[in-house]
Amino acid sequence: MSATVVTLWLLNILLDTFGQLSFKAAAAGPGLGTGLARWKAMAAQPWIWCGVACYVGEFMVWLAFLSLVPLSEGVLLGSINIVAVMIAGRFLFNENFSPLRTLGILLIASGVAVVGLA
Amino acid sequence: MTDLRRFYLIGFFVLVCFDTFAQVCFKLTANHAMPPEADLAWALRVFSSPWVYAAIVCYIGAFLTWMTLLEHAPIGPAFAASHLEVISVMALSVVLFNEHIGTPQWIGSALIIAGIVCLAISETDGDKPAA
């Protein structure tokens, strides 16, 4: 992988993880109410717009990334986002890691490493 | 087959289709807008491609399908279905873009798919989903 491809790959991980966590922060806030009121309360939170901005950025970064790598390889390398979001969720939202979840994360990470380092 | 089972199967199938076609449309957009450059000209080339709009439609379709499924389906299988598009995207990459799947890609995809299955089972067992 060239330096540009690696940079785009890292940017994609950062934007995807930060975007998902922003959505989570917006959705998990206390006292949001239900139904339409809930959506309005979420729309008033900066976090939701932070998430939207991340996703727009990720959209363009992913397009640039796919311009440089084959689609089959890109989709495999992109699987690392699952791992990044889970690890970030563990630290920020204290989500638990069962042994099976740890195994899944290790398998995905090693699969991405095999594809990326080949 | 019960109606509920049929509902899940159709729902998962629709979800995988949306996710798969979104990635194919992304690749077609990327090819249309070559070469990638960090400037306005590239962004204009991207949005002059019909495929970018097809990708957005697929994204919205996937999102709506996902939300509908989550109301009823257990999170584990839903999680697996939303990430196992890796398999269908790889298959279509070979057919549509004449891509070659080498040994590292075969090994890597086997590891990744095994990992996704582990995560799906762990979510079914009652872990809270990460996102």
Tens-place pLDDT, residues A28-77 = 766 667 777 877 877 888 888 999 999 999 999 999 999 999 999 999 99
Beta-carbon contacts of residue B94 (< 8 Å; ≥ 6 apart):
A72, B100, B101
| CA A70 – CA A79 distance, rounded (Å) | 15
CA distance B32 to chain A (A): 9
Radius of gyration of chain B (CA): 17
- pLDDT over threshold 80, residue B72: no
Contact between chains at B116 and A112 (C-beta distance less than 8 A):
no
| Higher per-residue confidence, A72 vs B67 | A72
CA distance B19 to chain A (A): 11
Residue B131 pLDDT? 45
The percent of residues above 90 in pLDDT, for chain A, comes to 59
Give me the number of domains chain B comprises. Answer: 1
Q: Per mean pLDDT, which range of A60-69, A80-89, A97-106, B116-125 is the poorest?
A: B116-125
Q: Per mean pLDDT, which range of A86-90, A93-97, B83-87 is the poorest?
A: A93-97
| CA A9 – CA A35 distance, rounded (Å) | 37
Contact between chains at B109 and A111 (C-beta distance less than 8 A):
yes
Does A84 touch chain B if contact means CB atoms closer than 8 Å?
A: no
Does A44 touch chain B if contact means CB atoms closer than 8 Å?
A: no
| CA A65 – CA A19 distance, rounded (Å) | 18
Does A106 touch chain B if contact means CB atoms closer than 8 Å?
A: yes
Interface predicted TM-score (ipTM): 0.86
Residue A1 pLDDT? 74
- Residue B30 counted as domain residue: yes
Nearest residue of B to residue A79, measured between CA atoms = B112
Average pLDDT, chain A: 89
Residue A31 pLDDT? 67
Beta-carbon contacts of residue A6 (< 8 Å; ≥ 6 apart):
none
Beta-carbon contacts of residue B41 (< 8 Å; ≥ 6 apart):
none
Residues of the domain holding B9: 3-124
- Residue B131 counted as domain residue: no
Tell which residue, B63, B80, B69, B72, has the closest CA to residue B120: B80
Location of structure tokens 């450059």: B37
* pLDDT, average across residues A90-112: 90
- Residue B130 counted as domain residue: no
CB atoms within 10 A of CB B2: 7
| Residues B22 and A74: beta-carbon distance below 8 Å | no
Residue B130 pLDDT? 47
Nearest to A66 among B27, B101, B128 (CB): B27
Residue A118 pLDDT? 85
Contact between chains at A115 and B131 (C-beta distance less than 8 A):
no
- Residue B89 counted as domain residue: yes
| CA B117 – CA A101 distance, rounded (Å) | 10
Tell which residue, A116, A1, A117, A11, has the closest CA to residue A68: A1
| Higher per-residue confidence, B1 vs B88 | B88
* pLDDT, average across residues B8-34: 93
Nearest to A76 among B43, B105, B121 (CB): B105
| Residues B119 and A89: beta-carbon distance below 8 Å | no
User: With helix as H, strand as E and coil as C, how does A1-54 read?
Assistant: CCHHHHHHHHHHHHHHHHHHHHHHHHHHCCCCCCHHHHHHHHHCCHHHHHHHHH
Question: Chain B 62-101, CB below 8 Å of chain A: which residues?
Answer: 83, 85-86, 89-90, 92-94, 97, 99, 101
Q: Bin A30: left if φ > 0, else alpha if -120 < ψ < 50, else beta.
A: beta
The percent of residues above 70 in pLDDT, for chain A, comes to 97
Which amino acid, one-letter code, is at B102? G
Which tens digit of pLDDT belongs to each residue from B44-59?
A: 999 999 999 999 999 8
- Residue B81 counted as domain residue: yes
